[in-house]
Amino acid sequence: MSGDRDESGMPAGGRSKSGADARLQRAWREAIGLLMDDLVRRDAAERTRRAYGVDLEQFAQWAGSQGLSPKQVGPKPVRRYIAHLTERGAAASTSARKLAALRALFSSQREHGAITENPADLVSTPRRPSKLPRVLSAREVAALLDGIPSGGPLELRDRAMFELAYACGLRAEELVSLRVDDVDYDGEQLRVEGKGRKTRFVPVGEPAMVALRRYLERARPALTTRPAPGERGQATASRRGARADRHDALLLSKTGRPLGTSDVRRRLRTWTSRVAAIGDRAGAGVSPHALRHSFATHLLDGGADLRSIQELLGHASVSSTQIYTRVESAKLRSAYARSHPRA
């Protein structure tokens, strides 16, 4: 029996297995494609769609190796997959992200009537280690910002960029997504497009407005005149069109292109390494998100309520903002331990 072959000369069992594999792959492609269509209709960010796609392709490969189609996946296979990730050294945050992608996939399948229950809903999210965000003191933030000179175009840009990051509590992605017309000079506020394409308006402090005006008046015009790589040989009309597309971005690179988040992180590392007040203690660990954390913590220190901070940060839920009360509690405990005679 083991030597039986079909009419093509292939082992009969091998041909059947190959066909089953192809059907599984097709089923997973269709399920993932359906979710991607749903995300496009919901106007989900491209970054979210891309991340979900990568995570779900990995799960589809694993499930296919187990002989499971989307309709055959229950809570137990999902738990096994999360355990598989842990065994391979995945951080809890990584496993939690991949589980969120699976919940979205099976939610889509349920909404379209392919399944009756979402198996990923019955799987607990891996617990992430409790870690307080890095927060700079007001003195350290001042040293960082004041340590950026106002000389050339790139220095003026960096001063404006990090003044805005701290003054408005912006994520790196929000910084690089700013357009020129997002600045409201009369109202001294900024229109910010946050996660989930949600728009919010954030007040801008006077030091940040001054730095922004200097950049726009003295630095940005110089950056817009610099051709990006590959433009030098283009015809004048097409070159102008390309520049028009990129010149509505607020923050530009030395070649005149819009900045990316990696540029923001790199420039912040450059300046923190040069500022003596924070270089030894925190220079290597200061990120754009640390400025956002410092913004929220300093507001809380100054008496702002959590709901207001939630709105300014663009958090969907106040539970995300409550981490800053833990920062405050940690500071109080530290002060108690230092100061109380019987601590």
Q: Is 81 in the active site?
A: no
Residue 246 scores a pLDDT above 60: no
Q: Which CATH superfamily is domain 138-282 in?
A: Intergrase catalytic core (1.10.443.10)
Which two structure tokens, joined as six digits, stand for 139? 């003195």
Answer yes or no: 84 catalytic.
no
pLDDT tens profile 250-298: 999 999 999 999 999 999 999 988 875 565 444 456 889 889 989 988 9
User: What pLDDT sits at residue 311?
Assistant: 87
- The residue extents of the domains of the chain are 14-122, 138-282
Among the listed residues 94, 91, 112, 109, the one whose alpha carbon sits nearest the alpha carbon of residue 51: 94
Asked whether residue 134 carries a pLDDT value surpassing 80, the answer given is no
What topology is assigned to 14-122 in CATH? DNA polymerase; domain 1 (1.10.150)
- How far out from the chain centre does Cα 41 lie? 21
Catalytic residue status for 292: yes
pTM of the predicted structure, to 2 decimals: 0.62
Which of 98, 157, 159, 171 is labelled catalytic?
171
Tell me the mean pLDDT in the region 308-332: 73
Instruction: Decide: 255 and 229 in contact? Cβ < 8 Å.
Output: yes
pLDDT digits (tens, 9 = 90+) for 142-188: 999 999 998 899 999 999 999 999 999 999 999 999 999 999 999 99
Q: What is the pLDDT of residue 44?
A: 84
Per-residue pLDDT at 329: 60
Please tell me which residue in 157, 159, 292, 298 is annotated as part of the active site: 292
Q: Is 98 a catalytic residue?
A: no
Q: What is the mean pLDDT of residues 88-94?
A: 89
Mean pLDDT taken over the chain: 82
> Do strands 189-193 and 183-184 pair parallel, antiparallel, or not at all (unpaired)?
antiparallel
**Residues in CB range of 34: below 8 A, 6 or more apart:** 108, 109, 112
Nearest Cα residue to 246 out of 220, 267, 208: 220
CA distances 55 to 37, 67, 97, Å, are 16, 19, 8
Predicted local distance difference test score (pLDDT) of residue 326: 63
Q: Which residue has the higher pLDDT, 131 or 1?
A: 131
| pLDDT for the residue numbered 321 | 72
112 belongs to the catalytic site: no
- Annotation marks residue 315 as catalytic: yes
For the stretch 192-226, pLDDT in tens is 988 777 889 999 999 999 999 999 999 999 988 76
pLDDT at 19: 74
Q: How far apart are the C-alpha atoms of 265 and 292, rounded to whole Å?
A: 13
Q: Note the pLDDT tens digit of each residue in 72-89.
A: 999 999 999 999 998 999
Mean local confidence (pLDDT), 15-36 = 85
Question: HEC string of 101-165?
Answer: HHHHHHHHHHHCCCCCCCHHHHCCCCCCCCCCCCCCCHHHHHHHHHCCCCCCHHHHHHHHHHHHH
